[in-house]
Each structure stands twice: as C-alpha cells, then as structure tokens.
Amino acid sequence: MEKAGAAYKVHIETFGCQMNEYDTELVRSLLKAKGFAFTEDRECADVVLMNTCAIREHAHNKVYGHLADLKALKRQRKLVIGVLGCMAQNLKEELTETVPIVDVLAGPDSYRRLPDLLTGAIAAQEKGDVQRGIAVDLSEYETYQDIMPEQATGITAWIAVMRGCDNFCTFCVVPYTRGRERSRAPQGIIREVEHLAAQGYKQITLLGQNVNSYRFEDWDFARLITAVADVPGIERVRFTSPHPKDFPPALLDAVAGHPRICKHIHLPLQVGNDRILRLMGRTYSRKEYLDLVEDIRRRRDDIALTTDIICGFCTETEEEFLDTYLTVQEVGYHAAFIFKYSERKNTIAARKYQDDVSERIKSNRVTRLVELQKAISLRKNRSMIGQTVRVLVEGDAKKSSDQWMGRTDTNITAVWEKRDAGTHPGDFTPIKISHVSATTVFGDELPAR
Ligand code: 5AD
Ligand code: SF4
C-alpha cells in the first residue's frame, strides 16, 4: 500500500497545547512520506483526523461536538475517522464504545503506526467492511528523533526536546496520556535547528511537558538552550512549559544573559496557597515560588513573567483563593491563563479528593482573577507607550491584512499599519508604541536602524 496513500486526502484538526500542534506537524510528515495528500477542507477529505486534548473538560467536550458533526458526514459518504492524541490515549474504551464511527485511535507515542492503521481502515471501507485500528501503547523511548515535522510558517518553528511528565500533579492527566519523561539527544536537536536556520527560520521554541527537566547524559536544559541559541542565523529562542522546581542558577543566567534567549518565562503558579499547593503535589511553597521570582528579577527586571492558575481545586476555601489573588497581585504577571478546575478521570485528585467547589464559585473566582489580571496587563502595556520595541514580523494581523502582526522579545503581540513596502514576515523591525490594550500594543513602524 506504499502508493495507496496518494489517492487519499487527509484533513487534520488540532485541539489543545503547542505540543499537540507540533505533533500534528509530525503526523503530517509521517503521512506525507507514505504518499497521503492533505486538504484544509473537511468536506472533501477522505480521512478526518482529530488531534485531541484531554487536559480540561472544555477541550474534551469540543471533540465530542466535532465527532457528532462527523457522524452526519459519514452517513452521507465514505469517510475514515481517526482520533489522535491525549483523548485517544485516555478514553479508548469510552471512545470505541460510545462513538462507533471512530475507525482509528492513536495515542501520542503511536504515530509511526498511523499510516498502516489508516491504510487498513481505508482498504476495509473500500470493500464495504470496517477495520478498527487502535494503537495506544505508551513508550519509554519514543521521541520521534528522526522525523522532521512539517513546519508551517517558515519563520518560527517548534522542536519537542522532551516528552512526557513524571511529576504527577494530582489534578493533571498528562502523565497518563503522554507517559514518562524522556529527552531527545542534543546532537539531533542541534542538527534540526541548523537545518531550520539554513531554511531561513528565525525563532525556535523548545517544547516539552516539563521542558526544563530536559536531561540527556551530561546535558541539562541550560546547556541545551544555550547551544540552540548559539546556532548562527537563529535570532530568538523561547521555551515552554517549564516547572518552577527546575530553575537552577545556570538556567536563570542563560535566560538573563544570552542575547538570543527571549526575556520571557512562563512560570505556572497554579495557586498561591500552601495547603492547596501540597494537595496538588506541586513540590514548592508560595514562598519558594516568590523567592524564584525575586531571583529572576534580581538578574533582570525586564524579564516578562506569565503563568497558569487553577481556581476551585478540591476543598479550596475563599480565604485560600485570596492567597492566589494576592500572589497574582504581588508578582504582577504580564499575562495569565486562568482555568476552572475540572476533574479528570484517572488522576490522583479524582481518586483521592472531592471535587466539592461548586461551578458557581469556580466561575466567580475565575472572573475575579481575570479582571485583576486584565488590569495588571493593561498597566504594564501602558507603561510601554512611547517606547520603541524590536519586533519579529510574523504575518498579517488577525483583524486586517492592512496591518502587520509581530511579537516583542518578551512575547507581547504588536500590531501596526503596513506602510513600508520593504517589510516582510521574518524581518525584525522597530515599532514605536502609541497605544495599547490589555493583550496588544499598537504603534508605528520606524525606519530600520
Ligand atoms: N483542571 C483545570 N486546569 C488544568 N490544568 C491542567 N490540568 C487541569 C485540570 N484538571 C491547567 C494547569 C496547567 C495548564 C496547562 O492547564 O494550569 O499548567
Ligand atoms: Fe501536568 Fe504537573 Fe506534569 Fe505539568 S508538571 S504536565 S501540570 S503533571
């Protein structure tokens, strides 16, 4: 069936985090090598794949919604449906029993088997038969080391340097859906970065569920990120998502000192109360977290911090929530992702604790924190009015093709009117900020210096 793929058009929909977006690129690369073609249009696809996320109920419900649409489509014509990613891994029984339209299930460590599973399902369908393909084994070794993902933009690229998670935060499903931590060999990563630089890529984001736990022989994350930032042609290096427990001085020095490592750290707090931090299994106290923030700021006070927060974890009281509120106020993040706690099947919290904070209270806490964060973000952005920032041009602004969109070193989105015909995506350009919102800075492009 090597050639059979060529006749078949695959449409892939991706949900969830950057790691999933990256995995979709890996899957495209694996399928392309077997002759499959791709389409952006679900209506003319022979195969629809959904790369799913299981981290919160919302993502989970969205996938079920899409599956209902596909069921209608599959009644009208031949269609092979595949569910990939974290939901495939975590909900294999539920998915195969309650959604019989799913032909193929493949978890995050099983994508090498996907071309064969699809080919089998397609061949069976041609004969009026059904062949269900399931590959959900977790691996201690799979890092897709030798697969070059299909990177979309030509300017910014992602590289997964480690996969999996051994932390078992009690609320989190990731250790179950993505398995144990394993890191890729640094030599292969650096070769990939050199290859991307030669193609004109300007920015690399190093990805991992616990990216700063990276370890390969005597390489740690500080050494890796420095080596990546030293590759000629690469102008910016970012990383996500780190855990606050793995920030040795060498890593802080690298972020603060290396001119091509971006001055931005995403530092998931989750909550600012010690009892809830312990229940979550986060391994740091509020004070240890704040000491780390101080360590960062002592090195450089212009490093932007962002975070993740969960509201309404099991047994969280109003007073305990206020500790989180005060911590957010005290740190002054540039931005925060704020979530309602949602119980996930199989997690330690689901087995040991009661999800006893009501939806109403969870929503109320989220709303209050979102309002607080909006005011902080706005204040921080306002303080940039009048400054000139160096921005990497990424492409057209979302709202208008008369405007460009780019990002600052600190990962703030900038939007400005297109004027200079000489500006192109991939350029670095100075923008003088004239006005701002909580999420975006706006301004004018100055002549390049
Ligand atoms: N409920 C709500 N938020 C969650 N996250 C992870 N698991 C859950 C859950 N069960 C959030 C955490 C994490 C981010 C990626 O998603 O804040 O840092
Ligand atoms: Fe989930 Fe915690 Fe691992 Fe992050 S560190 S992926 S929150 S278990």
CATH code of the domain containing 81: 3.40.50.12160
Asked whether 160 and 338 are in contact (CB, 8 A), the reply is: no
Could you please report the per-residue DSSP string of 94-161?
HHHHH-TT--EEE-TT-GGGHHHHHHHHHHHHHTT----EEE----SS---TT-----SSSSEEEEE-
Rg (CA), the chain: 23
Residues 121 and 18 in one domain: yes
Residue 288 lies in a domain: no
Strand partners, 432: 388, 444
Domain that holds residue 426: 388-445
User: Ligand 2 centroid vs 159 CA: distance in angstroms?
Assistant: 19
Q: What is the CATH number of the domain that holds 253?
A: 3.30.750.210
User: Ligand 1 centroid vs 88 CA: distance in angstroms?
Assistant: 18
Residue 237's pLDDT is 98
User: Quick one: which ligand is closest to 209's CA?
Assistant: 2
> CA-to-CA distance for 23 and 163, rounded, in angstroms?
11
Q: Which residues of 283-294 are buried (b: 16+ CB within 10 A; e: fewer)?
A: ebebeebbebbe
Residues 171 and 118 in one domain: no
Query: What residue spans of 282-441 are helical by DSSP H?
Result: 286-299, 318-331, 348-352, 359-382
User: Ligand 2 centroid vs 253 CA: distance in angstroms?
Assistant: 24
Intervals of the chain under pLDDT 70: 1-6, 152-153, 449
Residues 119 and 237 in one domain: no
Residues 25 and 116 in one domain: yes
Residues 94 and 179 in one domain: no
Query: To test the ligand 2 pocket, which listed residue (20, 171, 173, 210) has its Cβ within 8 A of the most ligand atoms?
Result: 210
Task: Give the contacts of 174 (CB within 8 A, at least 6 positions apart).
Answer: 55, 86, 164, 165, 209
> CA-to-CA distance for 213 and 242, rounded, in angstroms?
8
Residue 202 lies in a domain: yes
What is the chain's length? Answer: 449
Atom of ligand 2 nearest to the CA of 282: 2
Residues 94 and 157 in one domain: no
Atom of ligand 1 nearest to the CA of 270: 17
Asked whether 276 and 316 are in contact (CB, 8 A), the reply is: yes
User: Quick one: which ligand is closest to 244's CA?
Assistant: 2
Strands 388-396 and 428-436 turn out to be: antiparallel
Q: Whose CA is nearest to atom 17 of ligand 1?
A: 308
Residues 118 and 198 in one domain: no
User: Ligand 2 centroid vs 208 CA: distance in angstroms?
Assistant: 10
Total domains present in the chain: 3
Residues 101 and 160 in one domain: no
Residues 87 and 183 in one domain: no
> CA-to-CA distance for 361 and 355, rounded, in angstroms?
12
Residue 260's pLDDT is 98
> Which amino acid is present at 435?
H
Q: What SS3 state is found at 311?
A: strand
Task: Give the contacts of 321 (CB within 8 A, at least 6 positions apart).
Answer: 273, 311, 312, 365
DSSP code at position 350 = H
State residue 395 phi and psi, 5-degree precision. 160, -165
Residues 113 and 177 in one domain: no
State residue 12 phi and psi, 5-degree precision. -115, 130
Report yes or no on whether pTM surpasses 0.85.
yes
Residue 148's pLDDT is 82
State residue 201 phi and psi, 5-degree precision. -65, 140
Residue 346 lies in a domain: no
Residues 115 and 160 in one domain: no
Residue 368 lies in a domain: no
> Which amino acid is present at 138?
L
Task: For residue 376, count other CB atoms closer than 10 A to its CB.
Answer: 19
Residues 35 and 116 in one domain: yes
Residue 410's pLDDT is 96
Atom of ligand 1 nearest to the CA of 308: 17
Last residue of a domain, one of 108, 135, 162: 135
Residue 6's pLDDT is 63
Residue 426 lies in a domain: yes
Residue 270's pLDDT is 98
Residue 277 lies in a domain: no
Last residue of a domain, one of 233, 262, 291: 262
Q: What is the CATH number of the domain that holds 420?
A: 2.40.50.140
Residue 243 lies in a domain: yes
CA distances for 305 relative to 3, 59, 66, 199, 382, angstroms: 49, 25, 35, 31, 17
DSSP code at position 447 = P
Asked whether 263 and 255 are in contact (CB, 8 A), the reply is: yes
User: Quick one: which ligand is closest to 175's CA?
Assistant: 2
Last residue of a domain, one of 75, 108, 135: 135
Return the structure tokens found at 399: 């709202």
